[in-house]
C-alpha cells in the first residue's frame, strides 16, 4: 500500500495553504496551553509565533511545526506558582521568561555538542508506545471541547442541542477531511473543512467558538528584559526548571523529527534542530513568550495537508501573527467543533494501528515496552515515558543477552581441553560465564576460543581475570584464543589491570595466554 505522506518536495502553493491550516489549528492549542501554565493567552500565542518562525527558517526538519506545547506547560505550572510565592503576583511570569532563556542556552549547548544523535538509541517499540500515547493524549485533550467553557474555566458536559450541534459539526469536519482528497487536492482538506464549518456557523448555528476560550486580539510583541534579580539565588531557582524544560523539549522535538522522517522517508538533522530550538526559546523569552518545542499534532496536520518545505512553517507563524494583529474578529468566530474535528483526524492518523497486528508475532517484551510507554505518556509525561521505555528496553536486552553466554567443548584430551564460547561478556552475563567453568575438573591446559564472543566492558575483563585466578590457584594454565581486535584493544586499554601481548606469529587473530602467575602473555 502506498504511503500517502511520502512526497519529499512540496510546492509553494501546497506549503502556503498547509501553513494557513496549521495557523488556524495553533490558535486554540496555544491559548489552552497558556491556561495550563497559568499565564495570559498572548504569552502562548507569542511563543507559538517566535518558536514556529525561527525553527522553520533555521531548524533541521523542514515541514515540522513547533510552538507552545502541553508537555512544557505542565512543567511551567509549578515554576509560575513558586515564582509568584517568591516575588508576589506576576513575579512567576517574569521568572518563566528568564527560565525560557536559560532553557534555550542549554538546548544550544546540547546541539553544539552534537548530542542529538542519542535519539537513535530509542528502540522502535518505544517509538510506537510514544506515538500511541501521544494520540491518546491528543484525543483526551479534545474531550474538554465538549464541555461548557468560559475562558480558562471548564464546566460540565454539553447537553441537548448544544451537544448534538457540536457532535454534528465535528463529524462534518472529519467527513470533509476524509472524502475531499478523493475528489480534489487543490486545497488542503483540513483548511476546506474549517472554512465550510465556519461558514455554517456564520449562518446562525449556535455553537462554541474560539472566542469563548479567549480573544486572540493583541499587538506586536515587545522586547522585554525579565524583571528578576540577576544573582545566584535566582539561578539556583530557575536552573532545575530550565534543565527539565530543555530535556522535555528536546526529547519531544527529536521524537517528532524522527516520526516525520519516517512518514516522508527523508532525514532531518537533529543537532541543527536542537540549536534552532534553543535560539528560538532565547528570543521567545526576551519577547514575553512561554517557550516551546516541536508539536507532533500540528506537524502531522502540516504533512497531511501537503506541507513539506520551510515555507509551510513560516506561513503558519506569520499567519498566527496576522490573526493576533488584525484577524481576531474572524478567528474568534471559528467553531471549536471544526478544530476538534481536525485534531480527531490527527489522532486517527497518529495512532499506530499496526500495534494490534504485532500481538503474537513479536516478543512479549516488545509488547510490554509499548504498553508501558503508552501508559506513562498518558498518565505522566512524554519525556519521562521515553526515558522509562529506553531503560526498560535496555534492561530487557541485558537480561536476554545474559542468557546467551554458551560454552561448548571443541576438543578434549588428557592434556588439554578447548572450549568454544559464544555471546557477549559484560556486566549482565559475567555470572553466567563464571558458573560454566569447573577448574578442578579440567586438565592442566584449558583453552577458551573467543571467536564468537566479545568482551564489552570492565566487568567482562574482571570476569576473565577472576577466572584466570581460579585456574592459577588450581595449578593450571588458561589460554584465550581468537580474541577480536576490539577485545584486544579493550584489554590493552585496561593498562595495569591486565597485561596483554599479541603473538607475532598470529597475523589474523590474537591469542592471549594467562600463565600461572595470572598474567596475559
Given this model, what pLDDT does residue 205 score? 86
Sheet holding 510-514, edge to edge: 406-412, 416-425, 445-455, 477-483, 510-514
Evaluate whether 76 touches 96 at the Cβ level (below 8 Å): yes
Which pLDDT belongs to residue 167? 94
Strands 445-455 and 416-425: parallel
pLDDT of residue 492: 63
The domain locations on the chain are 12-376, 403-514
Express each pLDDT in 217-262 by its tens digit. 888 999 999 999 999 999 999 999 999 899 888 888 888 898 888 8
455: which strand partners? Answer: 425
C-alpha to C-alpha distance for 436 and 240, rounded to whole angstroms: 48
The string of pLDDT tens digits covering residues 262-304 is: 888 888 898 999 999 999 999 999 999 999 999 888 888 888 8
Residue 212: its pLDDT value, please? 79
Q: Is the CATH number of domain 403-514 3.40.50.2300?
A: no
Instruction: Calculate the CA 324 to chain-centre distance.
Output: 30
List 294's β-bridge partners, or say none.
66
In this prediction, residue 82 carries a pLDDT of 92
Instruction: From residue 50, give the alpha-carbon distance in Å to each of 148, 150, 257, 407.
Output: 31, 27, 19, 61
Per DSSP, 423 falls in state: E
Among candidates 127, 22, 9, which has minimal Cα distance to 65? 22
Cβ atoms of 95 and 238 closer than 8 Å: yes
pLDDT at site 493: 62
In the prediction, which pLDDT does 183 show? 87
DSSP 446-463: EEEEEEEEEE-SHHHHHH
- The pLDDT, as a whole number, for residue 501 is 34
Output the pLDDT for position 9: 57
CA dihedral over 389, 395, 398, 399, signed as positive or negative: negative
- Write out residues in the chain with pLDDT < 70, as ranges: 1-10, 120, 150-152, 402, 484, 486-521
> What is the spatial distance between Cα 210 and Cα 42, in angstroms, rounded to a whole number?
14
Q: Three-state DSSP class for 491?
A: helix
Phi, psi for residue 9 in degrees, rounded to 5 = -110, 140
Scored b (16 or more CB within 10 A) or e, 162-199 reads eeebbeebbebbbebbeebbeeeeebbbbbbbbbbbbe
Residue 44 and residue 337 in contact, taking contact as beta carbons nearer than 8 Å: no
Amino acid at each position: 500500500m502506498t504511503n500517502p505522506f511520502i512526497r519529499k518536495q512540496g510546492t509553494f502553493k501546497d506549503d502556503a495553504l498547509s501553513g494557513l491550516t496549521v495557523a488556524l489549528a495553533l490558535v486554540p492549542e496555544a491559548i489552552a496551553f497558556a491556561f495550563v501554565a497559568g499565564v495570559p493567552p498572548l504569552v502562548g500565542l507569542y511563543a507559538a509565533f517566535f518558536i514556529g518562525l525561527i525553527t522553520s527558517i533555521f531548524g533541521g526538519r523542514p515541514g515540522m511545526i513547533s510552538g507552545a506545547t502541553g508537555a512544557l506547560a505542565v512543567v511551567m505550572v509549578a515554576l509560575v506558582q513558586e515564582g509568584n510565592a517568591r516575588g508576589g503576583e506576576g513575579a512567576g511570569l517574569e521568572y518563566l521568561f528568564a527560565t525560557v532563556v536559560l532553557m534555550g542556552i542549554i538546548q544550544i549547548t546540547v546541539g553544539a555538542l552534537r548530542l542529538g544523535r542519542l535519539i537513535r538509541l530509542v528502540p522502535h517499540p518505544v517509538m510506537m508506545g510514544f506515538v500511541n500515547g501521544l494520540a491518546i493524549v491528543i484525543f483526551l485533550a479534545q474531550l474538554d471541547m465538549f464541555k461548557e467553557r468560559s475562558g480558562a474555566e471548564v464546566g460540565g458536559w454539553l447537553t441537548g442541542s448544544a451537544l448534538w450541534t457540536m457532535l454534528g459539526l465535528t463529524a462534518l469536519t472529519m467527513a470533509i477531511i476524509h472524502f475531499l482528497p478523493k475528489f480534489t487536492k487543490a486545497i488542503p482538506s483540513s483548511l476546506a473543512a474549517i472554512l465550510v464549518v465556519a461558514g455554517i456557523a456564520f449562518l446562525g448555528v449556535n455553537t462554541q467558538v474560539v472566542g469563548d476560550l479567549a480573544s486572540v486580539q493583541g499587538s506586536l510583541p515587545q522586547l522585554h528584559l525579565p524583571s528578576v534579580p540577576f544573582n545566584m539565588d535566582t539561578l539556583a531557582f530557575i536552573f532545575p526548571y530550565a534543565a527539565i524544560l530543555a530535556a522535555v523539549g528536546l526529547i519531544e522535538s527529536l521524537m517528532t523529527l524522527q516520526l516525520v522522517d519516517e512518514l516522508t522517508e527523508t532525514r532531518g538533522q537533529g543537532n541543527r534542530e536542537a540549536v534552532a530550538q534553543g535560539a528560538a526559546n532565547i528570543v521567545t523569552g526576551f519577547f514575553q513568550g512561554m517557550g516551546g518545542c516541536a508539536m507532533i499534532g500540528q506537524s502531522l496536520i502540516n504533512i497531511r495537508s501537503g506541507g513539506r518545505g520551510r515555507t509551510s512553517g513560516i506561513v503558519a507563524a506569520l499567519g498566527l501573527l496576522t490573526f493576533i494583529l488584525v484577524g481576531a474578529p474572524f478567528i474568534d468566530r471559528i467553531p471549536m467543533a471544526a478544530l476538534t474535528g481536525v485534531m480527531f483526524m490527527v489522532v486517527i492518523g497518529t495512532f499506530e494501528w499496526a500495534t494490534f497486528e504485532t500481538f503474537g508475532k513479536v516478543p512479549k517484551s516488545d509488547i510490554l515496552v509499548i504498553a508501558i510507554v503508552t501508559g506513562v505518556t498518558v498518565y505522566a509525561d512524554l519525556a519521562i515515558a521515553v526515558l522509562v521505555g529506553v531503560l526498560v528496553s535496555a534492561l530487557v536486552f541485558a537480561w536476554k543477552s545474559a542468557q546467551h553466554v554458551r560454552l561448548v567443548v571443541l576438543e578434549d584430551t588428557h592434556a588439554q581441553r578447548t572450549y568454544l564460547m559464544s555471546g557477549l561478556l559484560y556486566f549482565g552475563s559475567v555470572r553466567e560465564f563464571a558458573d560454566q567453568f569447573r577448574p578442578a575438573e579440567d586438565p592442566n591446559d584449558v583453552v577458551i576460543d573467543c571467536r564468537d564472543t566479545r568482551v564489552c566492558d570492565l566487568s567482562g575483563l574482571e570476569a576473565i581475570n577472576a577466572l584466570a585466578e581460579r585456574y592459577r590457584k588450581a595449578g593450571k594454565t588458561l589460554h584465550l584464543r581468537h580474541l577480536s581486535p576490539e577485545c584486544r584493544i579493550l584489554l590493552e586499554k585496561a593498562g595495569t589491570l591486565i597485561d596483554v601481548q599479541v603473538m607475532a606469529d598470529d597475523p589474523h587473530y590474537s591469542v592471549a595466554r594467562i600463565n600461572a602467575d595470572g598474567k596475559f602473555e
